[in-house]
Amino acid sequence: AQKITQTQPGMFVQEKEAVTLDCTYDTSDQSYGLFWYKQPSSGEMIFLIYQGSYDEQNATEGRYSLNFQKARKSANLVISASQLGDSAMYFCAMRVWSGKLTFGQGTILTVHP
Amino acid sequence: DGGITQSPKYLFRKEGQNVTLSCEQNLNHDAMYWYRQDPGQGLRLIYYSQIVNDFQKGDIAEGYSVSREKKESFPLTVTSAQKNPTAFYLCASNTGTGLNYEQYFGPGTRLTVT
Q: Residue A94: what pLDDT?
A: 95
Low-confidence ranges of chain A (pLDDT < 70): none
- The pLDDT of B77-101, averaged and rounded, is 89
Largest pairwise CA distance in chain B: 41
DSSP H or E run through B69: none
Distant-in-sequence, close-in-space partners of B79: CB < 8 Å, separation ≥ 6? B18, B63, B64, B65
> How far is the C-alpha of A80 from the C-alpha of B96, rounded, in Å?
32
Closest partner residue to B41 among A95, A101, A105, by Cβ?
A: A105
Indicate yes or no: CB of B99 within 8 angstroms of CB of A103.
no
Does pLDDT of B99 surpass 90? no
Task: Enumerate residues 6+ apart whose C-beta is below 8 A from B89.
Answer: B6, B21, B34, B35, B36, B37, B46, B76, B78, B108, B109, B110, B111
Which chain A residues have a beta carbon less than 8 Å from that of B105? 44-45
Which chain A residues contact residue B93 at CB under 8 A? none
**Which of chain B's residues have a Cβ under 8 Å away from the Cβ of A53?**
99
Which is nearest to B78 in space by CA: B17, B14, B10, B24? B17
Over 80: is that where the pLDDT of B1 sits? no
Kindly report, residue by residue over B35-88, the tens digit of the pLDDT.
Answer: 999 988 899 999 999 999 999 999 999 999 999 999 999 999 999 989 899 999
pLDDT at A7: 97
- Cα A36 → chain centroid: 4
**Residue B23, SS3?**
strand
